[in-house]
Structure 1
Amino acid sequence: MGVDILGLESIEKEITKKYSRKSMDEAEQRALKAGGNMMRNKVATQLYNYRDTGKLSIGTDLKEAKKLGNEYVAYLYWRGEHSSLAHLVNNGYHDRAGNFIKPKGYQKVDTTVKINADLYYSLLKRELNK
């Protein structure tokens, strides 16, 4: 079966002819869950290396994918009262004297996400091809 592709609109029309919207939504959710779990594990491993009590890496979790507009979005977050701690560890903070403090895990979440972006997208592609 051959397909002529002229633009993005024609690609979307051909895909919707072949697959139903429900099956595409389920495939997108499955792909986001697999990719999100992989990224959560990578981030938790990096944070565990800079642990004090280990609660920050253990509290790393992934919210279920939700549809916002035309896109599915899954969020990486920290359970409990560790969300503010995760923000401070990743971005640093100023103490009362005005000095900027860089914790041991400074920018580790951002760096881990950037380094593993290619692996994340290849995992999404593989899941969507199933």
Structure 2
Amino acid sequence: MTRKLITLLGFMLLSAPAFADVPVSQQAEVKYLLDFIKNSECLMERNGKRHAGIEALAHIQKKYKHFKDKIQSTEDFIQYSASQSTLTSKQYIVHCTAAKTISSQQWLLNALKSYRSGTGIK
């Protein structure tokens, strides 16, 4: 009986789904982007409604948690959590005072590029 139990437990462990996430080496990038969204004075438009940083952040964090098993890079984080509506497939748009509107995906990719180059933008 014990041997069967050990075999069953071993099988269960081996067949358990692997949960992905951003690699440790990129977690600081995701944190930076989350802080960037939170502290931004820009408004993020989702399905026709504009949201300030804190509201946008809360939504993106929910999506990040939901899609964590698919996310394997910072770029995946942007794609799955912060680029478009899961329900309508409409892209998120960012409205900043002194700039043209931009897709949230491009806005965050620009911020990521600045972060990686060491210039970090706000």
TM category (shorter chain) comes to 0.3 to 0.5
Q: Which structure has the larger Rg over C-alpha atoms?
A: 1
Q: Give the structure-1-normalised TM-score.
A: 0.37
Q: Give the structure-2-normalised TM-score.
A: 0.39
